[in-house]
Structure 1
Amino acid sequence: MNTTAPAVSWSTPGRVTYTVLLVCWMAILFEGYDVGVMGAVLPALATDKAWSLTPLELGVLGSYALAGMFVGSFAVGMMSDLMGRRRMLLLCVSLFSLTMIGAAWAPTPAWFGVLRFAGGLFLGGVIPVAAALTVEYSPPTRRGINYGLMYSAYSLGILVAAGIAMWLLATHGWRTVVAVGAVPLVLVPVMALLLPESLEYLLAKKKTAQAEHLARRLGIASLNAFQPVMQEAQSSPRDIMSAIFSPRHLRATICFWAALFLGIMLVYGLGTWLPQIMRKNGYDLGSSLSFLVVFSLTAAVGGVILGQFADKAGPRRMVALFYVIGAVGIYCLTNKNTLLLNYVLVGLAGLGSISASLILTGYLANYYPSHARGAAVGWALSFARIGAICGPIVGGYIGSLNLPLALNFVVFAVAALAAGLLVMLIPPKYQAA
């Protein structure tokens, strides 16, 4: 995941870099909570007599936000080019938090699904905008590690959702746990105060005077590192599509897309169904939620550690290895193990799903040439969101067939193994013309 430094001096003060990183980290944390809350409250929703949902209906309900994210990633990405990255990040956090209030008081499953879909529209815009701001304001030599640090908040958000559920679910019900997702509204003014606009955006929009004023305020001595690269800006759509889809690149593109599809399916499938499966296996509500805590915490730490391994040994081999390790851990959960061993196996599942997929995304971003990098990542992640939608549905479908819930682990283990094999099939180097 090494990034080649541009031939320009870097003069952005460290305090600016870490302020932007903090705000983007917070936005990703809030997103992680809103996505992870579905898995945290699923056991309670399953026993809610007022709604009487079947396993398949639960799986579909868990996919509404993911469907919204699929649509939102396109729309918000385009709007950020028109309205500015800072404005869109703050708007997305505000609006998806508002939808959590509505979802918490939804009178029917249909309304709950509509509000989760609406929230997903704005959730989908957070990751690309936060990633762009983090990379833009980070020195070239630290973009990989800062990227990993920012995305560690996603797993921590799922962890917080599990912790809040363990604290409030039994006494206050699932609606209160969902409503906690609106807390970011209180912090949006602080985020707005701290976060600067994208200098790259201002310069691309020819707002040079505004960019120079902002740079002086931030203590940035030179705007050279933020100037659009004209050669890349003039690349035609045909050049970009050729860099991704021409016959000599098609193998890499198919393997990246398919591996990310399976990896993200693992993340959302396990994140949604893990507490419910463990509860069906005999654990009480608190213990079953603790597995989600271990799953998320291990992935949060593992993403940073795996990124460092990938820098030294190469991302292709390390990502493939950790997908296979994850497959072994997931499959072994089908056995009757001790509680401690199950915690270890769930931790391996977190490493082999969230952490591996995170590093694979970084590998993809640095694999393609710079003029096609944004398109390559955007198309791949959009396709991967279909996997995110499928993950909860797969678990619900298996449950609707009255088959053992442990079969979910077999299916997800096979998916992890296939993802690892696909990563190894990626050509080691991009095949330049």
Structure 2
Amino acid sequence: MTYASNPATASSVVSPTREISHPKSLMVVLLCWVAIFAEGYDVGVLGAILPALATDNAWNLSPMQLGAMGSYTVFGMLVGGIVIGTLSEIYGRKPMFLICLSLFSLCTAVTAWSPTPMVFGITRFVSGLGLGGIIPLAAALTIEYSPSAKKNFNYGLMYSGYSLGLFAAALVGRWLLPDYGWRPVMLIGALPVLIVPIMALLLPESLDFLVARRRQDAAQRLASRLGVDVPAPSGQQKTRVGWRTVLGEIFSARNAYATACFWTALFMGLLLVYGLAQWLPQIMRKSGYDLGDSLLFLAVFSFTSAIGGIVLGQWADRFGVKRTVTLSYLLGAIGIAMLAFKGSIWLNYAVVALAGFGTVSASLILTGYLAAYLQPSVRAAGTGWALSFSRIGALCGPLIGGYIASLNVAPEWNFYVFAFVAAIAALATSLIPNKKQG
């Protein structure tokens, strides 16, 4: 088995011979969108409450401790992406999807009542385990159940939920933070647990998974419900896929170069997403803006990245994923660099919008590109491993912001560093091979 060079090739090994109808495809996209929206809120809420945590006299946190607050979650996501992604290839994508959504929602409720920074950090780590599993599972299900001509668009549409979740966290923070503090803002992130029963009823299991495990009866029942055909299992398919199988495939001689390019680009991309999502309001406050305006910068950044995910998905289907993502990262680098030059507040809003459109959106589409690039038999696990590695970058993002803050240098140094990171992501994306390796 090798990586596939395009979405159509990637889905052709065990995908149904007749594609799922558009309404049913959109149902899967919508359900994954809801889960990713919840994840986006959970990730964005820390950036929204960071100004309040920074001035909390009871906890008295240093800039490096504030940076670590975000890193606890990311470290959990690193572990969760590996463990959940691999377990999903053994026990099924749907049950692990439901477990992940329940886990991070419930832990967010516990975080809201944290009496100490230590309890806060522990609960954020456990939340991260569920957050890390949701992304590769949503990616695999969306790619599998999308028509070939709309894979990138559907993926961009689904993943717009992440940016809109960030956007919602910024708005809720601006609404509740001044009068009620950070705990109610965090508590709202627990509400998605209420929709888990609906997810259990409507979300289909992966046909790729059922066929690969030779569970033909279950596959036939699901295919009949979805209105698609079930192909015969390939002789190359294995009944069980463990971590050795996944790593052996993605790091084989013919695939190692593509893996290195994807992983480097995603590492830099997630460093940008998590670094800017956590520190942007605080950086803008240091630049002289009040709390409300600082949170609006995060809202604009998040909202335009949601629009960018959908727009870039369309452009990727039309002009090619690699070209679209590369140019998007370059655009984001320009936008971030321009933030170092002070202008009117409306000009800064426009530049922040450009930065969100170019960086977060590019990372979202790149994740979908990876999921489509992988063979179906290792799609969820391979995406999980890649995202877990990239979360080392996400782990570094908040810490880099905290380190720069501890140096007491001018705020624009944050933008110089993050713009350079975006440029590296663009370079790595441009080097992803277009054809099969080997």
Assess if the C-alpha contact under 8 Å between 1:67 and 1:389 holds in 2. yes
DSSP 3-state at the match of 1:86: helix
On the 8 A contact 1:232/1:370 being kept in 2, the answer is no
The range that moved more, 46-55 or 235-244, is 235-244
Give the equivalent residue in structure 2 for 1:231: 236
Asked if 1:124 is matched to 2:132, the reply is: yes
Q: 1:365 to 1:13 in 2, by over 3 A?
A: closer
- CA distances 1:206-252 after superposition (whole Å, capped 9, x unpaired): 43333333444x2525223xx54333549999997676445665444
Aligned counterpart for 1:18 among listed residues 15, 22, 26: 26
Mapped partners of 2:132, 2:391: distance in 1? 9
CA RMSD of aligned residues (A): 2.5
Q: Distance in 2 between matches of 1:305 and 1:200?
A: 28
Of 297, 306, 313 in structure 2, the residue corresponding to residue 307 of structure 1 is: 313
Residues 236 and 208 from structure 1, CA distance in 2 versus in 1: closer, same or farther, beyond 3 angstroms? closer
Comparing 347-356 with 376-385, which one deviates more in the overlay?
Answer: 376-385
Taking structure 1 as reference, are residues 240 and 126 closer, same or farther at Cα in structure 2, changes over 3 Å only?
closer
1:364 shift after superposition: 3.3
- 1:279 equivalent to 2:282? Answer no
The 1:200–1:3 alpha-carbon spacing in structure 2 relative to 1, beyond 3 Å, is closer
- CA separation of 1:372/1:21 partners in 2, compared to 1, >3 Å: closer, same or farther? closer
Q: Do the aligned partners of 2:89 and 2:378 also contact (CA within 8 Å) in 1?
A: no
1:44 aligns with 2:63: no
Which residue of structure 1 lines up, in the alignment, with residue 351 of structure 2? 345
Q: CA deviation at 1:17?
A: 2.0
Unaligned runs of 5+ in 2: 1-5
The unaligned stretches of length 5 or more in structure 1 are none
Q: 1:196 is paired with a residue of what secondary structure?
A: coil
Per-residue Cα deviation, 1:289-333 (whole angstroms, up to 9, x for no partner): 111111111111111211222233332232222212111111111
Moved more, 361-370 or 18-27: 361-370
Provide the secondary structure at the position in 2 that maps to 1:6. Answer: coil
* SS of the residue 2:12 aligns to: coil
**Cα separation, 1, equivalents of 2:93 and 2:248:** 28
Cα distance change on mapping 1:257 and 1:49 into 2, 3 Å? same
Bigger shift: residues 382-391 or 15-24: 15-24
Q: For residue 354 of structure 1, what is the aligned residue in structure 2?
A: 360
Say how many residue pairs are matched: 429
Letter aligned with residue 395 of structure 1 = G
Query: Secondary structure in 1 aligned to 2:100?
Result: helix
1:144 aligns with 2:149: no
How big is each residue's C-alpha offset from its partner over 1:273-294, in whole Å with a ceiling of 9 and x where there is no partner?
A: 0011111111111111111111
- Counterparts of 1:77 and 1:94 in 2: how far apart (Å)? 16
- Residues 111 and 123 of structure 2 are in contact (CA less than 8 Å); yes or no, is this contact kept in structure 1? yes
Query: Cα distance 1:343–1:204, how it changes in 2: closer, same or farther (>3 A)?
Result: same
Which residue number in structure 2 is paired with residue 220 of structure 1?
227
SS of corresponding position for 1:9? coil
Q: For residue 157 of structure 1, what is the aligned residue in structure 2?
A: 165
| Matching residue of 1:3 | 8
Q: What is the TM-score with the length of structure 2 in the denominator?
A: 0.90
State the partner residue of 1:188: 196
Check whether the contact 1:266–1:353 (CA below 8 A) recurs between aligned residues: yes
Aligned partner of 2:423 in structure 1 is: 417
> In structure 2, what is the Cα distance between the partners aligned to 1:67 and 1:197?
28
In structure 2, the partner of 1:86 is 94
Q: Does 1:318 align with 2:299?
A: no
- 2:236 alignment partner, SS class: helix
What is the TM-score with the length of structure 1 in the denominator?
0.91
For the structure 1 residues 370 and 197, does the alpha-carbon distance in structure 2 shift closer, same or farther, using more than 3 Å as the test?
A: closer
Measured in 2, the distance between the counterparts of 1:94 and 1:389 equals 23
2:152–2:369 CA contact under 8 A, matched in 1: no
Q: Letter of the aligned partner of 1:277 in structure 2?
A: I
1:44-83 matches, within 5 Å, as 44-83=52-91
